[in-house]
Amino acid sequence: MKIEIKRAAKVAAASAAVLAFLGGGLAMASHRFGPVAGWAALESGGFEPPILNRIARKLDLTADQKSEIREIVADHWKNGLRDASEEARTAHRTARHVIRNPKASEDEVRQAVRSLLPVDEKFAVERHKTVVDVLAVLGDQQKGKAKEIVEDVEQTGDEIFEKIDRFLGRI
């Protein structure tokens, strides 16, 4: 029995890894346990996203700043960010299905990719409005530190994509 459980766990883990790689990330597609659930709970005051705690520590936010940022994010989430996020997630999922469909024509792939622009644009604008409002809460030193954090994240992302490119033999 234990052997079967171990084997089942290995199969499940391998399947999850493959789905995460091919599916663009299980966390992004998850609604019940993923970001949508966390932010929805934020609206009701029942959840605090871990990222807010990390930001609060890294930027040395006061309790008032943290509370104000939580309110700003929840307000934006309720008033456009949530809908834009869901539309973008759905559009990307649809495009991935078309791209991976061997029966899809090149024109269908092009159309699927073109359909991403309006929803990505809407999502980007909503995210931008949220960032502008959050940055207004920060002091000058905190804004400088926030800029450093963003640059570090971008560099890490670039390094990850470079590793993927090397793995796939693109470079």
Q: Do residues 110 and 164 both lie within one domain?
A: no
Q: Do residues 130 and 143 both lie within one domain?
A: no
Residue 121's alpha-carbon distances to 24, 69, 111, in angstroms, are: 19, 23, 16
CA-nearest of 69, 79, 77, 86 to 30 is 86
Residue range of the domain that includes 107: 31-137
- At 123, list the tokens: 């999502």
Name the domain count of the chain. Answer: 3
Confidence band for 38, pLDDT divided at 50, 70 and 90: low
Can you give the pLDDT at residue 132? 94
Q: Do residues 75 and 153 both lie within one domain?
A: no
Q: Do residues 14 and 57 both lie within one domain?
A: no
Q: Do residues 18 and 35 both lie within one domain?
A: no
pTM of the model: 0.64
pLDDT digits (tens, 9 = 90+) for 59-117: 999 999 999 999 999 999 999 999 999 999 999 999 999 999 999 999 999 999 999 99
Can you give the pLDDT at residue 1? 44
Q: Do residues 35 and 63 both lie within one domain?
A: yes
Q: Do residues 131 and 79 both lie within one domain?
A: yes
Q: Do residues 113 and 151 both lie within one domain?
A: no
